Amino acid sequence: MLDDGTQISPTLARMLACDAALIRAVLNGHGQPIDLGRERRLYTGAARTAIEIRDGGCVWPGCARPASWCQIHHLIPWSEGGRTDQTNGGLFCWHHHREIEHGEWEAIHHRGRIWLRPPDSLDPNRRPRINPTHRPPPPQHHWPPEASGGPGP
């Protein structure tokens, strides 16, 4: 619930927590705060600019939305110990930020690029994909390894 009383979904709450100055407050049944979190760390200034230059726009495969439409998603959530550094941030437009927070796709940093690993319902091998729209694709030997495992024998 936002401070004005608006009820939001867990996915939207994660999106907002990813790239906004939020303070988490856990309330008891009487609306009194029983736990106040610390204000989260954000990508600002040079750290934000560096990611905007690196990614050029939304990193979702096929998405053409430019950096100015994007938020910076923490690949490992800040609440789970993820750092606010270049290897843990990627540009996502509003639509795809919601998609990645939904949890089926996985975003990974590999050799200075952000890759998207699809859910096994779309690709049993979960082969990582890259968005070549804003930045040229890297040489093939820089591609990340495919997910190990997959369907069992």
Residues near Zn ion (CB under 5 A) are: 18, 58, 60, 63, 65, 73, 93, 96
Q: Choose between 96 and 126: whose C-beta lies nearer to Zn ion.
A: 96
Q: Choose between 80 and 141: whose C-beta lies nearer to Zn ion.
A: 80
Query: Are the beta carbons of 130 and 58 closer than 8 angstroms?
Result: no
CB of 101 to Zn ion, least distance (A): 5
Query: Are the beta carbons of 17 and 40 closer than 8 angstroms?
Result: yes
CB of 137 to Zn ion, least distance (A): 17
CB neighbour list of residue 57: distance below 8 Å, 6 or more residues apart: 63, 64, 65, 66, 67, 69, 70, 91, 93, 131, 133, 134
CB of 131 to Zn ion, least distance (A): 8
Q: Choose between 90 and 126: whose C-beta lies nearer to Zn ion.
A: 90
